[in-house]
Structures are given as C-alpha cells and as structure tokens.
Chain A
Amino acid sequence: MKRTATTFVAAMVLLAAGCSSDGGGGGSTSGADVPGVTDTEVVVGTHHPLTGPAAAGYASISPATKAYFDFVNANGGVHGRKITYKVKDDGYNPATTQQVVRELVLQDKVFAVINGLGTPTHTGVLDFLKTNRVPDLFVASGSRSWNQPDKYPGTFGFNPDYTVEGKILGTYVKDNLAGKKVCFLGQDDDFGRDSLLGLEKVVGAVAAKGTYVTSNPNVGPQFGQFKAAGCEVVVLATIPGFTALSIGTAAKIAFKPQFVVSNVGADPTTVGKALGAAAPLMEGLVAANYLPLSTDEANPWISLFKKVNTEYNNGAEFDNNVVYGMSVAYLFVQSLQAAGKDLTRDGIVEAVKKNGFGGPGLVPLRFSATDHAGYGGTQLTKVEGGKAVFFGTAYTTDDAEGAVAPHTAQVVTPPSNGVPAA
C-alpha cells in the first residue's frame, strides 16, 4: 500500500513539473513595472465566444479588432509600442471565462482586458480584475453592471446600456405607432429586464410580455400568446438567432406585427443568414444602432474599416460585427494615445474618464468620473431592400428618468492616415 502513497506523490510532482515547464515565459518585462508594457509592446487580452452556440455572429468581432491593431502596428504603433491582442475563447461559459481571464492576467500578464464579451461571463470576473487592478475597458454588453464607478473603478462599458436603448425604441413606438398594442419578448437576464424597464418607462405597461432562454429554441408558445392578445407591435430584446426564430415563428402562425428589435439582435447579415430563404420577412424591421452601418458605402469610417478589413483581416465578410470590432480597437488606440508615453494602468483609466473621444460613434460616449457607461444613445434603422438604413435623428438619454433628446450628430471624419493622433 505504500506504493499508493508514492505514486500519488509522484503524480503530483509530475503535475507540478508539467505545470511549471510551460509556465516559465511570463515573468519579467524588461525593467518596466507595468505588467504587459515594454518600450516596444503593449499586451492586452480579451475573452470572446469563438465556439459554442453563442459564437454565432460574435466570433467575427475579435479578428476585426485584431486587424485594426495590426493596421496601427504597421503604421508605427502607439508611442512606439506595438499592440499585441490575445483572444481567448470562453464559449460563453462563465466557468471558462474565469479560467481564461486568470490565464490572461496571471500568466500572459496583460496590461488590460479589452471588450470582454457577455453579461453572465464578464460579471464573474469583475472582482478578480478589480483585485488585480487590471483596467477592464469597453465591455461588450449593455448591462448596467459595468457602470459602477464606486465599486469597480477600472471597469467601463462600450454598448449603450439596454435601458437607454429600450427608452429610445419606446420613443419610436410612442411617436410612430401610437395607440397600437405593444408586446415584448426578452432574454431572461439583464438584457431582457433592462430593455423592458426602458421600454415601459416610455410606453407604459406592455400588453403582453414573454421571456426565452437560449437553451430552449422554441418561441412558438410566446408568439401564440402574443397573437391571442392581439399584439400589433412586438419589441424584441433577443440575440440574432432568436430574432430570426421569432420572425420565422410569427410568420408560421400568420401573425404579422411590426417588429422593433434591440441592436444586439438586429444585424441584418447575421439574422438574414439565420432566416435563410425567409430573409425577406425582415423587411420593415425597425432597430437601432450607434455605429455606422456596414452597408453605408458613403461613410468615410466604413471605407477606412473596409480597407483595413481587406488588408489585415483576409477580407472577411464585412458586416456590422466587423465595424463593431474595429470601433472598439479605434477607441482603445485613442485611449492609449491620450494616456501618453509613460503608460500606466492608472494613467489609462484616467484618460478614459477624461473622455472627449471623437470617433465612428453617432452619439458621444458617456465616460466621466461618475459615469462608466459606454455610448449614450442610438439612432433608429429600418430594413429596406434587405439592408438596414438610418432614418430620423439620433437620440441620447440616460438609464433613469431623463428625457429622450434628439442629438444632432457632430460629424467626425477619420484622420487621413486612419490612426488617431495623440
């Protein structure tokens, strides 16, 4: 029986050896005290779903971000530093997110985490990132959890929060579809709840509401209920797959409401692909966006991003996810420029708080010492001829009782070389 003990010990030693052999590289960064920063390089990382059911649509974001960084690197980098972007796949599984974010911070020694994707996934790492004083910039989700400056001083959002968006979608419904019966289908988490909160702030209580979970791909009963309730407008806080499923299901039971959809689930390319031959059903769908649309050839940002996409992203299919990924990258490069040559973690957080970033966004970012939410509003879009187009004006508002105010977009054109100046 003694051998059991010995083999046990042997196994553990083996484990230890296996662990330390490939863990050696992470240690010292030439002189500088700031993790992930040397004179020639800044290492940042993120967690995105690249595999698994949630990867649909999202898997193309991080390559686009990386492509824009590569483009900046080819143009000399930022303050002489090249940006290295480490993307880890978490499969939208919070347990895996824990694992990969620890790997990024403790082993790869990233300077900051950029654009970590997902509410359930990212919520779990807020405390860990705070404890390790890692800047947690431009989280890819509209949950209001990122906007807690007192609790999480290093965390900043990117997307307009879902309540802001809900209020703006609600304003459209109130102004243009007055007197119609409004119903709501939302994801059973912060996304759906915050959206409904914003919507009801503007239009009052909805006639019928339903929720779905991603593990149950059947929204037939919810739509049966909506049809029975005589809904004329259905507001969706859904991810792309479920937007498609909702539209398809409604058509199946000969129910033809006006759909008004959150930006999260409204990319016409992604939804159209999921609908397949039924894609024309999207016609007339109202949604919102806060970044230029991928199909808007005349927009100078789109031409810039298209160029980068061709040269540095192997000409990947150019959709709104690519625009999103590059906009995130552009904002991070702006933040690096603003943080100055002596890059520190506190320095970049201060720079982001100072705000004043002009970029591809149609509305300003809300960043300040007391506000860590991302974009402050959206503009409505409508699907016409298979393409989304903007109409009306952009709106801004807050997640509380503030009015929904029209915003006259100040037109910002990209710098001529495509890289933001210091």
Chain B
Amino acid sequence: MNQFVYLTFDGLSRGAVYAAFALALVLIWRAARIVNFAQGAMAVAAVYVAYSVTSATGSYWLGFVAALVAGLALGVIVERVVMRFVDHSSPLNGVVVALGLVLVIQGVLGIVYGSEFHPVETPFSRDAFEIGGIALLSRYDLFVFAAVGAVVASLTLLFTRTPIGLRMRAAAFAPDVSRLLGVSVGGMLTLGWALASAVGSLAGMLVVPTELGLHPTAMDVVFISAFTAAVVGGLDSPIGAVTGGLIVGLLLSYVSGYVEPTVAPMAVLLLLVVVLLGKPGGLFSSSKARVA
C-alpha cells in the first residue's frame, strides 16, 4: 500500500511532464501536420540556455524565463529557416529534416558545453512531505503540477476564447479559406511552432532536474514517452495528450516499481504498439482518425 501510494504520486509527477511535452507535439501536429522529432533536442537547447543564465546570474527564475524565451525563439527559427521549405508531398520529408535538426542541435550543444552532465537546480525542495510515514509529494512535484496546469489552462483559453487562437485554428484546418479571409496563415504557423517549442522547453526545464542532469541527449528517452503519450491520446487532442501523459507516467512508475526498472521502456513500446494497432486515432479521437 505504502509503495503503491508512493509509485502513484511519482508516476503522476512524471506523467505531468510527459503531458506538457506531448502537448507540444500536439500543438505542432495541429498546426502543421508534422510530428516534430526535434522537439526533445530543441527543449534541451533551451534548458542549456537556462543553465547558462542561471550560472551567470545565480537566479533560477531568470534562467526559467530565459528558457521559455529561447524556446519561443528556437521555434520561430526552426519554422522560418528550415521547416517552411520542406517539401510536404511525402510525410517522410518532415521527419527526416527533424532528425537532421536533432543531430545538429546535439552536436552544437556538445561542442559549446561539452558532453559531461551538468547538474540543474530545482527552485523548490525535492524532499517529499511525509504523512504517516508515507512519502507523498515534494514541493517540486507541486510546482510541476502547477506549471503544467497553468500551461493547459492558458492554451485552452488562447484557443477557445481569443481571436488569435481562432485564427490559428482556422489557418491550420482551412488554410485557403483563412487566407481569403485575411488571416496570415504563415504567421499563424510560425506562432504555432513558437508556442509549441516554448511548451516543450518548459517540459524540459521540469524534467531535466529529476534525472541525471543536463546532457545533449537528455531528452531522447523522454521524447519516446511523450510521443507515446501523444499517440495514446490522439495526436489531434490536447486533452488526450494530457491524459496520455499521465497514463504513460503511471505505467512507467508501476512497471518500474513492481516488475523491474529495466522493463519500463519495453512497457512503453508495448503500449505504443497496442494503441497504434488497436485504436490508431488514439483513445480520444473525436471522430474517425485522420490519415497522416
């Protein structure tokens, strides 16, 4: 029981991060019909920026803001300089270009920062509160939940309650009509990338301190989990992404705790296979699944 409670909270806290990351994937998918395989590397780059800023100023929060800004900027650059020119006649092309970006980003980070692990500070203690001898949540876990919750809430507001959100949705689903109506479709696309990249950076900021530390390949495995989360929830559905993230987090935690930690990646693969073959549109596909 004791362990079950611990594993559940641990899984939810990891799951929240996967949810944020999956959300970033969903944002780009909705805007551009591309699964951004470079999302992990872009997020790591933003965390490195935060690391530099925090080391220079001593302030975690300055670094935190810097990471989000760097995420926005990186999203704009990637979309304007690279992704815009990808030939979309085959869905392979976008994937391959993203993989190229992964190599470039990881290589550049390795050259600039070296390949050793850099420890990353957390703004709050990671020591768990204990209730009746059961370790529950740490202050940091609460911060993770709050941050992810805030992102979900503001994205929902943005897309459903603001004119810019409406324009972004319109540009994604009916680009030609939108253009006729005077929406800057290209601009909306760039904005979508920037937002997604910033959300990804936030996820990176949240997850890196809980692992070995900052390293150019720190997000590779996280990316797989997040991709699984996004697929489980359906690439089109933000709510699905959040739920998918929590499901994957819990699955990883239970399998690690009750079976063996080394089995966890296999469990993720299995979940991915089952969902892809059983319900390719994801558990939350509203209507018939879209074909890529």
A interface residues, Cβ below 8 angstroms from B = 50-53, 55-57, 59, 188, 211-213, 215-222, 224-225, 227-228, 241-242, 244-245, 248, 251-255, 273-277
Q: Establish whether residues A254 and B135, one from each chain, have CB atoms under 8 Å apart when the complex forms.
A: yes
Q: Establish whether residues A218 and B256, one from each chain, have CB atoms under 8 Å apart when the complex forms.
A: yes
Q: Establish whether residues A254 and B119, one from each chain, have CB atoms under 8 Å apart when the complex forms.
A: no
Q: Establish whether residues A252 and B115, one from each chain, have CB atoms under 8 Å apart when the complex forms.
A: no
Q: Which of A219, A225, A254, A273 contacts B128 (CB 8 A)?
A: A254
| Distance between A400 CB and nearest chain B CB, rounded to angstroms | 31
In the A-B complex, the 4 residue pairs with the closest CB atoms: A276-B119, A217-B212, A221-B256, A51-B115
Q: Which of A222, A253, A254 contacts B261 (CB 8 A)?
A: A222
Complex Cα distance A218/B225, Å? 14
Q: Establish whether residues A228 and B3, one from each chain, have CB atoms under 8 Å apart when the complex forms.
A: yes
Known A59-B116, A221-B261; contact A277-B126, beta-carbon cutoff 8 A:
no
B117 contacts the other chain (Cβ, under 8 Å)? Answer: yes
For B242-272 the 0/1 string (1 means CB < 8 A from A) is: 0000000000010011000110110000000
Q: Establish whether residues B2 and A228, one from each chain, have CB atoms under 8 Å apart when the complex forms.
A: yes
For B121-161 the 0/1 string (1 means CB < 8 A from A) is: 10000111010000100100000000000000000000000
Complex Cα distance A217/B265, Å? 12
Name the residue of chain B whose CB is nearest to the CB of A57.
B116
Q: Which of B117, B121, B256 contacts A241 (CB 8 A)?
A: B117
Complex Cα distance A215/B115, Å? 15
| Distance between A347 CB and nearest chain B CB, rounded to angstroms | 38
Complex Cα distance A216/B252, Å? 12
Name the residue of chain B whose CB is nearest to the CB of A215.
B221
Q: How many residues of B contact A (CB 8 A)?
A: 32
Q: Which of A273, A274, A276 contacts B121 (CB 8 A)?
A: A276
B79 contacts the other chain (Cβ, under 8 Å)? Answer: no
Name the residue of chain B whose CB is nearest to the CB of A89.
B115
Q: Establish whether residues A254 and B212, one from each chain, have CB atoms under 8 Å apart when the complex forms.
A: no
B120 contacts the other chain (Cβ, under 8 Å)? Answer: yes
Secondary structure class of chain B's binding surface, majority of residues: mixed
Complex Cα distance A276/B208, Å? 13
Q: Establish whether residues A254 and B127, one from each chain, have CB atoms under 8 Å apart when the complex forms.
A: yes
B217 contacts the other chain (Cβ, under 8 Å)? Answer: yes
Name the residue of chain B whose CB is nearest to the CB of A51.
B115
Query: Can you report 7 residue pairs joining A to B where beta carbons are below 8 Å apart?
Result: A216-B262, A224-B6, A251-B127, A253-B135, A274-B117, A274-B119, A275-B119
B91 contacts the other chain (Cβ, under 8 Å)? Answer: no
Contacts of B100 in A (CB 8 A): none
Q: Which of B114, B128, B138, B261 contacts A218 (CB 8 A)?
A: B261
Contacts of B128 in A (CB 8 A): 252-254
B7 contacts the other chain (Cβ, under 8 Å)? Answer: yes
| Distance between A113 CB and nearest chain B CB, rounded to angstroms | 23
Complex Cα distance A273/B120, Å? 10
Give residues 1-39 of B contacting A (CB, 8 Å): 2-3, 6-7, 10
Q: Establish whether residues B213 and A241, one from each chain, have CB atoms under 8 Å apart when the complex forms.
A: yes
| Distance between A257 CB and nearest chain B CB, rounded to angstroms | 14
B167 contacts the other chain (Cβ, under 8 Å)? Answer: no
Complex Cα distance A57/B118, Å? 11
Complex Cα distance A211/B119, Å? 23
Name the residue of chain A whose CB is nearest to the CB of B256.
A221
For B206-235 the 0/1 string (1 means CB < 8 A from A) is: 000001110101000100000000000000
Q: Establish whether residues A51 and B110, one from each chain, have CB atoms under 8 Å apart when the complex forms.
A: yes
| Distance between A77 CB and nearest chain B CB, rounded to angstroms | 32
Complex Cα distance A57/B212, Å? 14
Known A218-B211, A275-B119; contact A224-B7, beta-carbon cutoff 8 A:
yes
Contacts of B212 in A (CB 8 A): 53, 217, 241-242, 245, 274
Q: Which of A212, A220, A274, A277 has the most CB of B within 10 A?
A: A220
Contacts of A245 in B (CB 8 A): 211-212
Q: Which of A53, A216, A222, A228 contacts B215 (CB 8 A)?
A: A53
| Distance between A229 CB and nearest chain B CB, rounded to angstroms | 11
Known A228-B2, A252-B127, A254-B127; contact A52-B119, beta-carbon cutoff 8 A:
no
Complex Cα distance A211/B265, Å? 16
Known A213-B262, A218-B211; contact A55-B135, beta-carbon cutoff 8 A:
no
Contacts of B264 in A (CB 8 A): 216, 218
Q: Establish whether residues A253 and B119, one from each chain, have CB atoms under 8 Å apart when the complex forms.
A: no
Contacts of B120 in A (CB 8 A): 276
Known A241-B117, A274-B213; contact A252-B261, beta-carbon cutoff 8 A:
no
